[in-house]
Structure 1
Amino acid sequence: MADGNLSNQICQCTVGVVGICGNGLVCVVITKIHFMHTITNAFIFNQAVIDFFGSLLILLSSLIPIPDPIPSGVGGVLLCHVWVSKYFIWAIFTTSTFNLVALTLERYLAIVFPFKYPTLATRRNVTIALLCVWVSAFLFVTYNIFLRNLDNGKCLQRSVKHPKILGVATVSVIYMVPVIVMLIVYVHISVVLTKGAERVGPAPSAAAISGGGGAVDNQRESLMRARRNTFKTLLIVFISFTVCWTPNCIIFTLFSLGYEVDFSSTIYLITVAMVSLNSCVNPFIYAIKYKQFRKALKIMFGRPNQSDESSY
């Protein structure tokens, strides 16, 4: 059992460090490189910030021991209700999920409703959407604070009247509903993209028309390729999220429905590690698949001859 705990701690520390470095790099690149200042990249930046803090909390939770017994007083109560309950970690994980849904819907509006998109994707609306992602996630997970009780130096789990309802509702909000929504959206986007550039490209300007149909076609084709690349990148992010979260959510659902679950088993610890892994994997996906991000990396690390790219 000690070996299992040590292996889990090493895994959590590794994920935390890699996640901090990778997501920190994403934030720096988007901040420093001008052509990365797009609506889509604002959501990607927010995702990186969320995963950065998620990785930091994973690292801290693996390094900071919980005192036994937990001291009495306000400090001990806060430690029990906020830290031992893993409120912040689950709030960040939920924020990451909600932001991924928001990012997916932003791409859906841009690709399926290109003419309405400029009026909907304003700076004000994007700011409100990002704030809603954070506030709604942290508010939803507040129930976790009240599930703990400090008793004689022990932070004990409180019993609830309807644990099955609470468990299923939790899994539905942080996993099932987001996955279903994103799956439907990605399927629809795929259908739209297969119909050609006329559905995704903006209407050509008068200057572009006077310059010849070839220039307009090239512009549309370039925009189509860019949006397809972004779509494929985010689709991989969605698949990664689903793969990392599904095993743990299945186990948690079974536990909520009354099945016996060994939370010290190797299988369960692997599912926890997979959830944590989701906080550090996205930067690698961007570096491998996201052409705009790769170009920004080259510019930031000494290749300034690269030309700026248009908004995706």
Structure 2
Amino acid sequence: MSANETKIELEAEDLGFYIYYYGVMALLMCVNLPGNIIVITTILRHRDLQINSNLLLVNQAVADLLYGILYPVYNLAQIKILPSVVNAFADYGLCTFFISQVLTVVFCSPLNLMVVTIDRYIAIVFPFRYEQYVTTRSTIITIASVWIFSEVYSIAVHVIYPPKSEFQICRYEDMYNLIQTLLLNIGTGVIPLVVMISLYIQVIKVVRKQTRSIATQFVSVNSGSSSDQANSRKDPRRKENRSTALISLLLLFYFTAWCPIVAYFLYVLLSKRTPSAYIGATCRIIVFTNSCVNVFVYSLRLQNFRKYMMKDLRHCCEIFRKCLQSKRKGFQIHSSQCEETSTSITNNMYSSHTKEEDISIVNI
């Protein structure tokens, strides 16, 4: 078997595999869909949150929301115990189009994260030029460019590497060989990760330099008191630690989400062994979690976002409570009306029966 013909042969999937894989995917969907919808509606509902950097977060939430819808449907088309669904998606045109759109959304998410990284890089490295470079117009153009480039990338992949027409299940491992699949995962996961790491390293250097300069200035101003010196040193160092921890957390989670599946395909390519279906499913689950957590990591650190999000959630709970109360009242009114109706019917029946008895007595 040549390198171009290398193919992934998956082990047979049993009922336990379906319960594990699709059960976890269903739980992640319960986090992905409402979480990203909350982020989108919260930022778009409140004018205070509608700044340029938050518009990028909305775009990230839209991409993750679409990924949370398309990717589970793509996996649903691979359940062998549902032959009607598998045969419906096994059409070459439908399967190719669906995989291309999944690939577009998959590539759009890390590309948008890279844009958010560049936005933070400009804000920290060039703080006085940030408002000049990052405007509403440039942000909208950037968001549109991210989606256009993602769609062009997906089309280019299908033009350069046309999918195989001989397949029984709509699965990109069956439509592409192993090297092509590995390149797709490297292009969508590893390359944006390398760009973000290089930018964040520069950001960390600038943050440390700025905080040290601020600490030195605080010490010179408050040199009369030793306690003031300690507090002045502690405050900027705490800010530095928070910024460094946030950046490290983002990079660590992104690395954790994408590297297992790349390592999985590298192992298959080098060892030529049949992988376990559970290992491949676990790698895909880890990648899918990236769409459930990224937006929260970026958004929940914003104090105004948390305030408006809790306000909206309380408002929704209040509306839900009022709806339940109105339904309860309506049910009580309906039940009381039913009782009155049944009572009147019983009284009518009793009165009619009494009249019949009186009539019979008169006849006698």
Q: Of 183, 202, 223, which aligns to 1:188? A: 202
Aligned to 2:87: 70
Equivalent residue number for residue 291 of structure 1: 303
Q: Is the 8 A contact 2:107 2:188 kept in 1?
A: yes
Partner of 1:268: 280
The C-alpha deviation readout for 1:239-278, integer Å capped at 9, x for no partner, is 22211111011112344x4542545432221111101111
In structure 2, the CA distance between the partners of 1:275 and 1:135, relative to structure 1 (3 Å rule), is same
Matches within 5 A, 1:129-278: 129-142=142-155, 143-144=157-158, 147-151=162-166, 157=174, 164=179, 166-167=180-181, 169-196=183-210, 233=246, 235-255=248-268, 257-260=269-272, 262-278=274-290
Task: Report deviation, 1:147.
Answer: 4.2
Aligned AA for 1:196?
Q
Q: In the alignment, residue 136 of structure 1 is paired with which amino acid?
A: F
Where structure 2 has 5 or more consecutive residues not aligned to the other structure, the ranges are 1-13, 215-234, 316-364
Question: Which range moved further: 9-18 or 262-271?
Answer: 262-271
Matched position secondary structure for 1:148: coil
- Map of 2:46 onto structure 1: 33
SS of structure 1 residue aligned to 2:132: helix
Question: What's the TM-score once normalised by structure 2's chain length?
Answer: 0.64
What RMSD in Å do the two structures reach over aligned CA positions?
3.6
Distance 1:71 1:188, change over 3 A: closer
Contact kept in structure 1, 2:211 and 2:240, CA below 8 Å: no
Residue 97 (structure 2) pairs with residue 82 (structure 1): yes
For the residue of structure 2 that corresponds to 1:56, the secondary structure is helix
Is 2:62 the counterpart of 1:49?
yes
Greater shift in the superposed pair: 41-50 or 226-235: 226-235
Cα distance between partner residues in 1 of 2:54 and 2:85: 44
Partner of 1:121: 134
* C-alpha distance after superposition, 1:182-240 (max 9, x if no partner): 1111111111112226999xxxxxxxxxxxxxxxxxxxxx9x99999677546533322
Q: Helix, strand or coil for the counterpart of 1:70?
A: helix
**Residues 60-116 of structure 1 deviation map (CA, whole Å, 9 limit, x = unaligned):** 3344556477369xx933223223xx3322321111010000100010011101122
Compute the displacement of 1:150 (Å).
3.9
Task: Indicate the structure with greater helix content.
Answer: 2
In the alignment, the residues of structure 2 paired with residue 188 and residue 30 of structure 1 have an alpha-carbon distance, to the nearest angstrom, of 29
Which residue is 2:21 aligned to? 8
Q: TM-score, normalised by structure 1?
A: 0.74
Could you tell me how far apart the structure 1 residues matched to 2:170 and 2:293 are?
33
Distance of aligned partners of 1:49 and 1:234 in 2 relative to their CA distance in 1, 3 Å threshold:
farther
**Which runs of structure 2 are paired with 1:100-115 in the superposition (5 Å)?**
100-115=113-128
Unaligned ranges ≥5, structure 1? 201-221, 304-312
**In structure 2, distance between residues paired with 1:264 and 1:225:** 46
Does the Cα contact within 8 Å between 2:108 and 2:147 map onto a contact in 1?
yes
Check conservation: 2:125, 2:203, Cα contact below 8 A.
yes
Change in Cα spacing, 1:10 to 1:232, as seen in structure 2 (3 Å) is same
Q: Which 10-residue stretch deviates more, 63-72 or 17-26?
A: 63-72
What is the distance in 1 between the residues matched to 2:18 and 2:191? Answer: 32
Q: Return 270-279 or 59-68, whichever deviates more.
A: 59-68
- Which residue is equivalent to 1:204? none
**Offset of 1:168 from its aligned partner?**
5.3
| Alpha-carbon distance change, 98 to 167 in structure 1, aligned in 2, over 3 angstroms | same
The DSSP-based 3-state class of the residue aligned with 2:91 is helix
Taking structure 1 as reference, are residues 180 and 63 closer, same or farther at Cα in structure 2, changes over 3 Å only?
closer
- Judging changes above 3 Å, is the alpha-carbon distance between structure 1 residues 190 and 69 closer, same or farther for their aligned structure 2 residues? closer
Q: Cα gap change, 1:252/1:159 in structure 2, threshold over 3 Å: closer, same or farther?
A: closer
- Tell me the percent identity: 21
Q: How many residues align?
A: 274
